[in-house]
Amino acid sequence: MSWNMPVHRGRDHDERAARGLAADARDAAQNARTARTVAQHATDAQDCRILLEMLGLRLDGLRAEKPS
């Protein structure tokens, strides 16, 4: 067996990709919830921005979600 052999990309690849997309969606939802919580506790916009940066979240990467 050689490392240069093409890799078969069948059903496992599709499932792995779907799991990755689902994980990305969960991460985005968690980041949005975190941003809302921070915004509720921040004293002003500057404080909110600093707190989000401390958590490693960027404002431009967060999307507002419709409440369920």
DSSP 11-65: HHHHHHHHHHHHHHHHHHHHHHHHHHHHHHH-SSHHHHHHHHHHTT--GGG----
Tell me the residue type at 31: N
42-67: per-residue pLDDT in tens? Answer: 999 899 989 998 988 877 766 555 55
In 3D, which of 67, 66, 63, 68 has the Cα closest to residue 24? 63
How far apart are the C-alpha atoms of 63 and 56, rounded to whole Å?
Answer: 15
9-44: per-residue pLDDT in tens? Answer: 666 667 888 888 888 889 888 888 998 999 999 999
pTM: 0.60
